[in-house]
Amino acid sequence: MTDQQLHPDTVAVHSGRAGLTELGVHALPIDLSTTNPLPDIERGGDSYEAMATGGRPIEGGSMVYARLWNPTVARFEDALAETEHAAAAVAFSSGMAAMTAVILAHTSATGKHHVVAVRPLYGGTDHLLGSGLLGTETSYCHPSEVRSVLRADTGLVVVETPANPTLELVDIAEIVAAAGEVPVVVDNTFATPLLQNPLDHGAAMSLHSATKYLGGHGDVIAGVVACSEQTAEALRRVRAVTGGLLHPLGAYLLHRGLTTLPVRMRQQQENAKQIVQWLIDQPEIDEVFFPGLDGDPQGILERQMRGPGAMVAMRMSGGYAAASAVASSVTLFTHAVSLGGVDSLIQHPAALTHRPVPADARPDADVLRLSIGLEYAGDLIADLAQAFARASTAVAVEAAPHAAGRGGLSYPVRSK
C-alpha cells in the first residue's frame, strides 16, 4: 500500500522507519556522532560542499559533521514530511530557529526584503518580523488585505491558522491565491499534521513548533518545516551556516512522539470540546474562542481541517483581575507558557507570549489561553470552576473602594 492509501494514524506510526529491517533493529536508532570518518580527501570535500549548500549526503561520501547532517534528524524529517504530504522537511533547534531560517531563505537570500504577515500570529513571530533584526520590512494585515499590501520586493507571506491565541481560522487557499507567486508559510502548530495539511491547499511551507504537539511531553524544544525539496535545500543551507540543527536526541523524541500524536490529539480534542460546552454557560465568561463554535459560517473548518484541535481561549467577564486570579488559582492546570503536552496548561497571552507585540495588536488583557491535555475532562472542569469562584472573590475585592489602584498590568494593554 502507498502512503496515499494509508490512514493518517498508520502513517504517523510507520513513517520514517525505512531501512530498519536491513539494520536489524526495531526501535529507532540514535546517532550522536558529531564528526564522521572521511573516505578520502576528494570525496570528503565533495560531501562537505554538497551539504553545506543545502544538498543531501552524496553516495559513497560522508556525513562529515553533525552541523551539516545527522541520520537520526533525517529520519524524523522524513517521517514529518510523510504526515504533511510533503516532499521534504527540515528540522531546527527550535520553532523560532525554523521561522528565522524561513524568513532568511526567502528575503536576504533572494534580495526581497519585504514580508507580509497576517495577524494574529504567535508573539515571537510577530516580534521577530517587527524588530527588523533580520533586515526585513513587514506589513501586517488582515487576511482580506494580503493582495493589497504585496510589493515587488515581497519575498514571503506568513500566516498562522488556527491563530494564536484566539484561534481565528484563515482560509489557506485564499491567502495563496492572493499571494500569487509569493511563497506562503503557514504556522501549523495548533492543528498538527493530523488535523491540517497546508501544502494540500497550496502553501509552500508548513511550519511547526515541534516543541508542542509533535513532542507532546514538554521535554524537547524543536522546530520543523515541511516543504518541497527545492525549498528544503534553501532551508538546509541556512541551517548549515547558522548552526540551527536539531540535536539527534531531540529528533528521536519527536519521532517517537509522532507515533502517538493521533491518539493524543483525538483525546485532547474530545476533552476540549467538553470543556468548551461547559465554559459557554458560565457567567464568569464573556466569550469562548474555539474553532467551529460559531457554526463555521465560512466553511473553513469543514473545508480545511479534520477537527478543531485542543486549544481554547476565553474572555473573563471580570476583566484582567479575574484573568489573573483564575491563572493563579488553578491546581490541575499548570500556569505556564507553551502548549500541546499531555498535561493541561493555562496562560495569559498579553502578559507572556504576546508581550513583545505592539499594544494595538496585543491580545486583550481579559483573555486566557488553555492547552487541554489528557486528564479526565470532568476534573479539569472542576478545577476551572473552583478557580472561577476564587476569581469572583478577587474581582469583588478589586472593585472595593479601598482597593482602588491595585493590580493591573504595568505596561499598555488593549481593553475589552
Q: Is 0.85 topped by the overall pTM?
A: yes
Active site residue: 126, 187, 364, 383, which one? 187
Active site residue: 43, 56, 67, 266, which one? 67
266 is catalytic: no
pLDDT of the residue at 413? 39
Contact, 195 vs 309, CB < 8 A? yes
Question: pLDDT for 81-111, tens place per residue?
Answer: 999 999 999 999 999 999 999 999 999 999 9
CB atoms closer than 10 angstroms to residue 283: 8
Long-range contacts (CB closer than 8 Å, 24 or more residues apart) made by 207-210: 207/95, 207/98, 207/99, 207/102, 208/80, 208/95, 208/98, 209/94, 209/95, 209/96, 209/98, 209/122, 210/80, 210/91, 210/95, 210/254
Helix 71-83 crosses helix 248-279 at what angle (to 10 degrees)? 30
Question: pLDDT for 168-184, tens place per residue?
Answer: 999 999 999 999 999 99
pLDDT of the residue at 355? 77
Q: For the chain, what is the mean pLDDT?
A: 93
pLDDT of the residue at 400? 58
Closest CA to 154 of 183, 178, 175: 183
* Number of DSSP helices (H) and strands (E) in the chain, helices first: 14, 12
Written as one letter, the residue type at 340 is G
Q: How confident is the model at residue 404 (pLDDT cuts 50, 70, 90)?
A: very low
pLDDT of the residue at 394? 67
42, pLDDT greater than 90:
yes
Q: How confident is the model at residue 3 (pLDDT cuts 50, 70, 90)?
A: low
Element (H, E) at 302: helix 300-304
Question: pLDDT for 298-332, tens place per residue?
Answer: 999 999 999 999 999 999 999 999 999 999 999 99
Active site residue: 65, 171, 212, 383, which one? 212
415, pLDDT greater than 50:
no
Contact, 239 vs 247, CB < 8 A? no
User: What sign does the dihedral 122-127-129-135 (CA atoms) show?
Assistant: negative
pLDDT of the residue at 366? 94
Spatial distance between the Cα atoms of 290 and 166, rounded to a whole number of angstroms: 8
What b/e string do you get for 128-161 counting C-beta neighbours within 10 Å, with b at 16 or more? bbbeeebebebbbbebeebeebbeeebbbbbbbb
Active site residue: 122, 213, 252, 320, which one? 122
Spatial distance between the Cα atoms of 188 and 196, rounded to a whole number of angstroms: 7
48 is catalytic: no
3 is catalytic: no
Spatial distance between the Cα atoms of 106 and 235, rounded to a whole number of angstroms: 9
Q: Phi-psi category of 24—alpha, beta or left, where left has phi over 0 and alpha has psi -120 to 50?
A: left
Return the biggest CA–CA distance within the chain.
81
CB atoms closer than 10 angstroms to residue 296: 15
- The better pLDDT of the pair 322, 405 is held by 322
Contact, 314 vs 367, CB < 8 A? yes
Question: Which domains does the chain possess?
Answer: 261-403 (3.90.1150.10)
pLDDT of the residue at 407? 38
112 is catalytic: no
